[in-house]
Structure 1
Amino acid sequence: MDKLLDQFSFGLFFWQILIFVGLIFLLKKFAWGPILKSVNDREAGIKDALKSAEEARKEMQNLQADNERILNEARAERDGMLKEARQLKETMISDAKVEAQTEADKIVAQAQATIESEKKAAIAELKSQVAGLSVEIAEKVVRRELADKDKQLELVASMLGDVTLIN
């Protein structure tokens, strides 16, 4: 270090300082400026990219929320349509049952009315035939009984015997 101090020259030191300052000035003007500008541009680009990524993330969240909302609305609409279809089916089945029961009741009533009228007609026919047969039988019995004089007297006697006078 002593040797360095002995060989020290102010002129050389001055020129070295002047060249160093000039070199710094030249580096600042031609190297650091463009380097710093490039670093600043890159920093701005990174900030813009981060900002764009954040906006895209937010937009993605909004789209997911919208998709979820649309899905929920579609599910609700589907459920409503299914419920309405079930109610319509039940109504149609109920109406068909009521209509079928009404038709069945009407057919049964008509059948009962037909049976009743045919029964009455058969009874009337039977009465008519029984009355006709009874008249024919009575006529034949009376003719046979009245044809013979002894039998007539015997019939009158038996009828008089059966009759009792009530006081």
Structure 2
Amino acid sequence: MNLVTPDLGLFFWALLTFSLVFFVLSRVAWKPIMQALKERETSIEQALASAEKARQEMAKLTADNEKLLDEARIERDRILKTAQKAADELREAEKERTTKEVAKMLDDARRVIQSEKQQAVNEIKAQISVLSVDIAEKLLRQQLADKNAQQALAQQMVNDLKIN
């Protein structure tokens, strides 16, 4: 039972050793330990503040990126609309030009056809007049072979001249 009950001498030496170690530690190690803990606490606070600042900057950058993306989308849409409008205008102008060219070609074709038609009619008239003269010549030769027929024809022509 002696081991369980403290002895006064053991108590004294234990207290003296504890006091001595406490004094030495408080003089030599307590300040550096406390300073290290304070530095550690300060660095942790700075790291937390830095992390919060970085988080805020990331949020700001994300917002700025979203804003830039929105602006880029708006600009892209505007450019696409402008390009579509220009393409439509170009298509319409080309369509108009093609329509005018087709109309001009049709007019030219009509003029050529009309000209060729008139030329053909003139050629037919010329041929008809040549044929008419040939037929008239043959008829007159046949009718004028007789002297009485010549006189009757001359008399008829004179009568026709007087009437006109």
Give TM-score, length-normalised by structure 1: 0.69
- Which residue number in structure 2 is paired with residue 110 of structure 1? 108
Pairwise CA distance, 1:18: 9.8
5+ residue gaps, structure 1, are 1-7, 160-167
Alpha-carbon distance in 2 for matches of 1:70, 1:119: 72
Pairwise CA distance, 1:149: 5.5
- Superposed CA RMSD: 3.3
Alpha-carbon distance in 2 for matches of 1:125, 1:38: 125
Pairwise CA distance, 1:19: 9.2
- Which residue number in structure 2 is paired with residue 38 of structure 1? 36
1:14-33 equivalent positions in 2, closer than 5 A? 27-33=25-31
- Matched position secondary structure for 1:126: helix
Alpha-carbon distance in 1 for matches of 2:29, 2:125: 140
Alpha-carbon distance in 2 for matches of 1:135, 1:19: 164
Pairwise CA distance, 1:21: 7.5
- Which residue number in structure 2 is paired with residue 4 of structure 1? none
Provide, for residues 54-100 of structure 1, a one-character-per-residue CA deviation record: whole Å limited to 9, x for no partner.
00111111111122122222222222222222222222222111111
Corresponding residue pairs, total:
145
Aligned to 1:144, which of 132, 142, 145?
A: 142
1:8-87 equivalent positions in 2, closer than 5 A? 27-87=25-85
Pairwise CA distance, 1:148: 3.2
| Residue 47 to residue 141, structure 1, CA distance change in 2 (3 Å) | same
Give TM-score, length-normalised by structure 2: 0.71
- Matched position secondary structure for 1:118: helix
Identity in percent: 42
- Matched position secondary structure for 2:144: helix
Aligned to 2:119, which of 110, 118, 121?
A: 121
